[in-house]
Chain A
Amino acid sequence: MSGWAELDEFLSTDPRDVGCDEALRLLHVYVDLVVDDKSKVEAARRYAGIAAHLRACGPCREDFEGLLRAVATRGNETDPDERP
C-alpha cells in the first residue's frame, strides 16, 4: 500500500474514536484488560472507542505500548544497548 491508499488510510476516521483525554483517562484499565487477555478481544469489545483511538493516534499508542511493556516487565527490562 502506498500513495493514495496510504493517504486514504491516514485520512479515514472512526466515529467510535473517543479522543486522547478519554483514552488516557482509562488507559490503565485498558492495559490491565490486555494483560489479562493477550488477544485484546475483551479490551476492544469493552472499550471499542479506546481501541479505535489507539489505532489512529500515534502519541497515545506510544503511551499504551510503553505502559503495556512496563506492566509486563515491572520496569525491569534491561536496555538492549546496555546488556553485556
Chain B
Amino acid sequence: MPSADASLGDQVAAGLPAPTRIAGRLDDESRRWMDELGGTGPPRDEALGRLHDLLLRVARAEVARRRGRHPITGPELDDLAHQAADDALVAIVAKLSGFRGESRFTTWAYKFAVLEVSSKLGRHFWQRPTASIDVADWERLPDRFGVTPDDHAQRLELIGAVRRVVSEQLTPHQRQVFVALVVDDVPLDALVISMGSSRNAIYKTMFDARRKLRAALVANGYLGASATKGATGGLSMEEQG
C-alpha cells in the first residue's frame, strides 16, 4: 500500500508547496480526535471505536462505489470492507504522531481506508479464474481507443503501428508492463501485486513507455508533433529517474 503520511519538511524537499493549514493549528474536531486518540483509558477506547465505525462506513461506501469494476459481491465484499477498516485503524494509530494538521483529521484518516480498499481489490483480481497476463490479445487494442469494429483499415493500421514500436522501442520490462496494462487490461494495482512492485514504479515505467511510444509514432508520421502538456515545476516523474 502506498505510504499515507507526509511531513512539511518532506513536502518542501519534494518541491511541493506547503499546505494551507499550519502544523499545530488544528480545527476543533481534529484537535478533539488527536487528544482522545493520544490519551489513555476508556476515552481513548471509545474514540478508537468511533473511528473504526467511521472507517468501516467509508470502506463499505468505497467498495460499493467501485461496484462493477471488481467481481466481489455479498458477504465477501463486506468482509473486505471490514479488513480495510481494521488495517486502516492499525495504520492510523501507528502513524498518529505523523499527522501534522495539514488537512482535517478525518480526511487524513479516511485516506487510509480508501487506500486499503484499493490495495485489497488489487489482490482480489488474481482470484478470478480468467485472470492472466501474457495473453497479449492485440485484436482488442483498437477497442481501447474507441475504434469501431467495422473500421477494419484503421484497426489493422493502429495494431500494426503500436505493436511495431512496442517491439522496437521498449525495454523488455516496459513491454511487459505496457502489454499487461493496455493490451490485456490488467488493473494497475493488480499488476503491482503480481510483479511485487509498487504503484509508483509501475506508473513510472508506463510514463516512460508512453513518451517513447509517442515519439516513435510521431517520427513515423502517425501522430502530430505537439509533445507534452503543460509546463515544468515541482518534482516531476521526469526527475524521479
Contact = CB atoms under 8 A, between A and B. Distances in A.
B190 to A, nearest CB: 10
Given A47-B17, A52-B229, A74-B54, A10 B145 contact: yes
A25 B154 contact: no
B234 to A, nearest CB: 4
Contact of B3 (A10, A21, A28, A69): A21
B203 A57 contact: yes
A7 B58 contact: no
Interface stretch (B33-41, B127-135, B204-212): B204-212
Contact of A16 (B5, B14, B57, B231): B231
Contacts of B62: 66, 69-70
Interface string A39-67: 00000001111101000011110110111
Interface string B191-230: 0000000111001100100110110010000111001111
A71 B107 contact: yes
Interface centre among B6, B10, B66, B217 (most CB of A within 10 A): B6
Nearest to A64: B114
B61 A75 contact: yes
Contacts of A60: 199
A2 B57 contact: no
A63 B114 contact: yes
Interface residues of A, number: 55
A7 B14 CA distance: 31
A60 B204 CA distance: 13
Given A15-B228, A21-B3, A70 B210 contact: no
Nearest to A56: B207
Contact of B103 (A2, A31, A59, A69): A31
B101 to A, nearest CB: 10
Contacts of B148: 2
B239 to A, nearest CB: 9
A19 B235 CA distance: 9
Given A15-B231, A25-B11, 12 more contacts: A4-B222, A15-B228, A19-B200, A19-B203, A25-B6, A27-B111, A35-B107, A49-B233, A57-B203, A62-B66, A70-B114, A79-B67
19 contacts: A2-B145, A2-B147, A8-B224, A11-B217, A14-B229, A18-B234, A20-B2, A20-B198, A26-B19, A26-B102, A31-B103, A32-B21, A32-B107, A46-B20, A52-B229, A63-B114, A65-B65, A70-B113, A79-B60
